[in-house]
Chain A
Amino acid sequence: MAAVSLVRSLLPALLGAGLLVLLAGCGEVSAPRMMEARGDTCVEPVEVMRRDHMKLLKHERNQALRLGARTERYSLNGCIECHVSPTASREDPSSHFCLNCHAFNAVRFDCFQCHADKPMPDSGRVHALNPNGAQHALTVASGEELANDAQRLVALEIKAQ
């Protein structure tokens, strides 16, 4: 009996302490270090791509596969030619533009169960917006720039509500 009441009286304190520990653990979250793209512009502004790339891709997929209407512009292979290095690997998501961001945001996607996850080095096919070709090296974007992008997205989100 005494033990029960002891636990009861301690419970709020215990809960509070747990909460504090959790809060203490919440530091600043740093954005994943994303690969830069080749070329100097994407098919849509970055804010559009960040929010709606899946819609564009899904629309393209249905048009291309079911009707044979391929636009190149929004094709998944096009994304990969500009954004993914031929040496990227599924085993190391940080080396892969798509996998990196999806892992960071904990969004499951299964494109790469079927689709090639990196450009073919000798495909000879280059996205219209990519002036450099698939072999071209990629670098990691600066954290500052990513933070700016993120801030702008948040601002847009607030404005939209």
Chain B
Amino acid sequence: MSNESKPDLSRRQFLGGAAAVAGLAVAPGVFLVESASAATGASSKVRWGLLIDTNLCDSGCDACVTACNKEHGLNGHGRPATDAQYIRKVDLKDRKTGATRSLPVMCQHCEHPPCVDVCPTGASMKRPDGIVLVDKHICIGCRYCMMACPYKARSFVHEDLTDQLPHTPRGKGTVESCNLCVHRIDRGDGTTACVEACNRDGGSAMVFGDLNDPNSEISRRLAEFGSAAIRADFKLNPGVRYRGI
């Protein structure tokens, strides 16, 4: 009884007078003020991105994929054609020289994302800090964004789900994709599940960071070695960059 303490009645009465309720009803701004002071939100001064060095990425390694599936609770249903994949390993073979490469591909978090352009409701969106997300509250599941994405980065949830993880809500009838571990970023972890796993169990091929900060590791590496974007000819300026392709 003592541990399962009940709400203190007098205290509740004190807080819960008619005035408080009326205040909320007349002035919905109450909560606006509240959250504005409580959290500043994503800043447009930063742009989160990834740099992937394909020279360090081994074809047999899928540490990033496993970590991503675990982080977001992507358990799958044993149906590869319809199961979600936020990140996948792609193997390349040069048609002329026969040289091979291996690299992970996920949502490229474009500066000019086609999915955002085509989405009829505005569910596909780009956060101020450059992360491209699906607002599953207003996604109607038309899949036009999947038609438009040049990177085949998106998946549609084809069945009812249970036991989702608290930080990765996902459900039937909506579209989803890599969210750059936005819950970690907002928590201030400064890394994503895939990058963490790559550094721990893989070839340390991935760097996460702020592309707008010239002193960040990712910016220094980009300045020093340069990089490429997948299908740069589409001029989407993706936030995910590669070396060695």
Listed in ascending order, the chain A residues whose CB lies under 8 Å from chain B are 36-38, 40-42, 44-48, 51-52, 55-56, 59-61, 63, 65-74, 77, 80, 90, 113-116, 119-120, 123, 125, 132, 136-139, 141, 145, 152, 156, 159-160
Contacts and interface: CB of A to CB of B under 8 A. Distances in A.
B189 interface: no
Given A61-B137, A114-B174, A51 B21 contact: yes
Contact of A45 (B12, B166, B174): B12
A59 B89 CA distance: 38
B60 interface: no
A160 B23 CA distance: 12
Contacts of B233: none
B15 interface: yes
B166 to A, nearest CB: 4
A46 to B, nearest CB: 6
Q: 9 tightest A-B contacts by CB? A: A45-B16, A68-B42, A69-B41, A114-B171, A114-B169, A45-B15, A113-B171, A67-B41, A71-B38
Nearest to B36: A69
A65 B31 contact: no
Interface of B: 3-9, 11-12, 15-18, 20-22, 24-25, 28, 31-32, 34-36, 38-42, 125, 127-129, 133, 135-137, 160-167, 169-172, 174, 182, 186
Contacts of A125: 166
Given A67-B41, A73-B38, 16 more contacts: A40-B7, A40-B8, A44-B20, A45-B15, A63-B39, A68-B129, A69-B35, A69-B42, A72-B38, A73-B35, A74-B35, A90-B162, A114-B169, A115-B166, A116-B163, A120-B166
Binding site of B, secondary structure by majority: helix, strand, loop or mixed?
Answer: loop
A59 B135 contact: no
Nearest to B1: A139
Contacts, number: 132
Contacts of B9: 145
A65 B164 CA distance: 17
Contacts of B186: 68, 70
Binding site of A, secondary structure by majority: helix, strand, loop or mixed?
Answer: loop
A71 B35 contact: yes
A55 B97 CA distance: 60
A68 B40 CA distance: 8
A55 B59 CA distance: 49
Contacts of A47: 16, 20-21
Contacts of A42: 7
Contact of B39 (A56, A71, A113): A71
B135 A65 contact: yes
Nearest to A52: B24
23 contacts: A36-B4, A41-B7, A42-B7, A44-B15, A45-B15, A45-B16, A47-B16, A52-B24, A55-B31, A59-B35, A60-B31, A65-B137, A68-B41, A68-B186, A69-B38, A69-B39, A70-B41, A70-B186, A73-B35, A74-B35, A90-B162, A136-B4, A145-B9
Nearest to B127: A68
B18 A71 contact: no
Contacts of A68: 41-42, 127-129, 182, 186
